[in-house]
Structure 1
Amino acid sequence: FFRESPWKAEDISGPRKRFMVKKFLELARQMGIELVILIGVDDSLGKKGKATRHLQAVDFHHNHTESTGKKQVYTNGYVYVEVHVQIGPIGFLFDTRLYQREKKVRLLNRERESGHRLHYRSKYHLARNMLEELAQLLPQGHRVYVLFDSWYASAKLIKFCRRQRWHVICAIKSNRRIDKKRIDQHNQALKHQSYQRVTLEALDPRRKTPTYVVRTIHGHLQEMVEPVQAFISKKRSGDKHPKYFACTDMTLSAQQALRYYQKRWPVEVDNLYLKDVLGLGDFRLQSFEAAEKWFAVVVLAINYLQFQAAQAYLRSHARLPLADFIRQHRLEHLRILLRTVIEEARLSKEADVILAKYLPAASSLMT
């Protein structure tokens, strides 16, 4: 099915993306939700065994989560870039794209015919390609904010989003320049000015609502013509390691902009379910194209769960975890199986024949 069947990943992905965008916009209108569309962009590394060498989608990638300033860590695994769409309380994974290092692409192409060679795409280009597809599906006239961390906060990606008339809210590194001056130097220059207190939503309802102290500056990012507002956020006034953010929408308050940025969290939830529950990294497929098909099927599975969750929210206004719908799906399959077995047992009354039919592995062990 994945190795030899002639279908392509886009045969599934194209209709899936069109369906999800259309249905979630309809659900948002039925709920009366303000159509502020938040688009999260991120990438994720999934680990494979160190001995895994012959899968084309697997390579050693830089692991920035486990790396430190003194030691850089490289992990054998797969990397994908993803785009998540969030509209109020409902959202879905729009798409994923497998990433390969340029050196690995050149190595794989040595053994491929000219018409079947892979094309290297940077993470920026993978993200941009998915955003271009999404732009064609979104209706005009709605506010759209693209959210990403400092790894994606390039002038190229920000300019692309602005050409779509989308705004950007992103994290930036401490050496990023605002009006030709590093933002951490702005932080030092403003040390005697008062803070604005910002309260964000608690991601875990069992925990206390987080509060930060924030200073705002206005200016131009390097290589950017349009002005931005930048936020210097600290957990407390004496915090020596502040976080820095930039926002292209000059009308947003610091609290509103940072609350929007919080909506990147569903991307991490997607990663949890994809890798730990739905088996995204369980592929044993040698060709890169077969791995892409595997990804397309797994993303289809999580979209099914997210659509179920959105419909449940429409009925009850309760945010239920995807794990509840996985459990419900499994129980429904068990109910159908039990009903079928009971009906056949009532008609045939031959227990061994029925067990051999539905549990062939167990029957072969007993003989």
Structure 2
Amino acid sequence: MRGWDLVFAAVRVGSFTAPWAWRCYVNERFSEEEDFRKRSELAAELIRSFGPPLESRVMVLVDSTYCCGTVIRAAHQRGFPVVGWVKKNRLLSDGRRAWDVPEERSAYLQGLEIPLKIVHGGRGKGRRTVICTDLASGCQQILRRWKRRWGKEHFGLGDCRCRGKQSLERWVELVLLAYV
């Protein structure tokens, strides 16, 4: 629906993916609430509220929308490494584009004090620049992790044609119920 979207989180263990939590995002222009929050703030809230199972390693996998300081800081505070792709024009602290940095270099995104490893996947127009906050990870390992992220179409959430917040919430609840 115009001005509405979902910020959705899933848990993946091996090849099994299960929905975990979500937040309804309303574009500031359409929001009637006084405490408007950006998508990245809602995603950071989901990360901060996640209670991992004991003795498990958690990794946050994100697309370019959520590969930003707010989300990376929230994950870093919890001790969760982040793997995500950045857009071609994303700048580093030294003014270069992440796209232009040679593979497997450490760098800092502009405005972010957390070191990242930069790798590239694909060729030509399909090339992606992927970052990882786990500096010990190798190029192939980072790209494998990035490929494991998923989209909302995985659960049929992309098919929603609802017109209001309550309808959107009910749609998500029905999709999750059907999944379970």
* 1:258 maps onto 2:143 in alignment: yes
C-alpha separation in 1, matches of 2:46 and 2:135 = 26
Verify the 8 A CA contact 2:52 2:58 in the aligned structure 1.
no
Verify the 8 A CA contact 2:41 2:71 in the aligned structure 1.
no
Verify the 8 A CA contact 2:108 2:114 in the aligned structure 1.
yes
The 1:289/1:261 distance shift into structure 2, 3 A limit, reads same
Q: Which has the higher contact order (CA 8 A, sep 6+)?
A: 1
Q: Structure 1 residue 251: deviation in Å? A: 1.4
Paired position in structure 2 for 1:223: 111
Q: Structure 1 residue 262: deviation in Å? A: 0.9
Paired position in structure 1 for 2:57: 143
User: Which secondary structure state, in structure 1, belongs to the residue aligned with residue 105 of structure 2?
Assistant: strand
Q: Deviations over 1:176-234 (max 9, x none)?
A: 233512223335xxxxxxxxxxxxxxxxxxxxxxxxxxx32122222233321101233
More helix by share: 1
Q: Structure 1 residue 94: deviation in Å? A: 1.0
Paired position in structure 1 for 2:98: 183
* 1:125 maps onto 2:44 in alignment: no
The 1:183/1:100 distance shift into structure 2, 3 A limit, reads same
The 1:242/1:168 distance shift into structure 2, 3 A limit, reads same
Q: Specify the code of the residue in structure 1 equivalent to 2:11.
A: V
The 1:94/1:118 distance shift into structure 2, 3 A limit, reads farther
Verify the 8 A CA contact 2:121 2:143 in the aligned structure 1.
no
Counterparts in 2 of 1:187-266, with a 5 A limit?
187=102, 215-235=103-123, 239=124, 242-265=127-150
User: Which secondary structure state, in structure 2, belongs to the residue aligned with residue 102 of structure 1?
Assistant: coil
Counterparts in 2 of 1:1-367, with a 5 A limit?
58=1, 60-61=2-3, 78-106=4-32, 119-134=35-50, 137-180=51-94, 181-187=96-102, 215-235=103-123, 239=124, 242-265=127-150, 267-270=152-155, 273-276=156-159, 280-281=160-161, 283=162, 288-289=165-166, 291-302=168-179, 304=180
Q: Deviations over 1:257-303 (max 9, x none)?
A: 11111111364422xx3355xxx43x57x5x345424432332222x
C-alpha separation in 2, matches of 1:182 and 1:266 = 26
User: Which secondary structure state, in structure 2, belongs to the residue aligned with residue 97 of structure 1?
Assistant: strand
Q: Specify the code of the residue in structure 1 equivalent to 2:121.
A: S
Listed as ranges, the gaps of 5+ residues in structure 2 are none
C-alpha separation in 1, matches of 2:101 and 2:44 = 31
Verify the 8 A CA contact 1:84 1:266 in the aligned structure 2.
no
C-alpha separation in 1, matches of 2:45 and 2:26 = 15
Verify the 8 A CA contact 1:146 1:168 in the aligned structure 2.
yes
Report which of the two structures shows the higher radius of gyration computed on alpha carbons.
Answer: 1
Paired residue total: 179
Identity of paired residues, percent?
A: 25
C-alpha separation in 1, matches of 2:129 and 2:140 = 14
The 1:241/1:264 distance shift into structure 2, 3 A limit, reads closer
C-alpha separation in 2, matches of 1:89 and 1:241 = 25
Listed as ranges, the gaps of 5+ residues in structure 1 are 1-57, 62-77, 107-116, 188-214, 305-367
User: Which secondary structure state, in structure 1, belongs to the residue aligned with residue 114 of structure 2?
Assistant: coil
TM-score, structure 1 as length reference: 0.44
C-alpha separation in 2, matches of 1:175 and 1:256 = 24
Q: Structure 1 residue 154: deviation in Å? A: 1.0
The 1:265/1:132 distance shift into structure 2, 3 A limit, reads same
The 1:141/1:79 distance shift into structure 2, 3 A limit, reads same
User: Which secondary structure state, in structure 2, belongs to the residue aligned with residue 251 of structure 1?
Assistant: coil
Verify the 8 A CA contact 1:95 1:299 in the aligned structure 2.
no
Q: Structure 1 residue 118: deviation in Å? A: 6.8
TM-score, structure 2 as length reference: 0.84
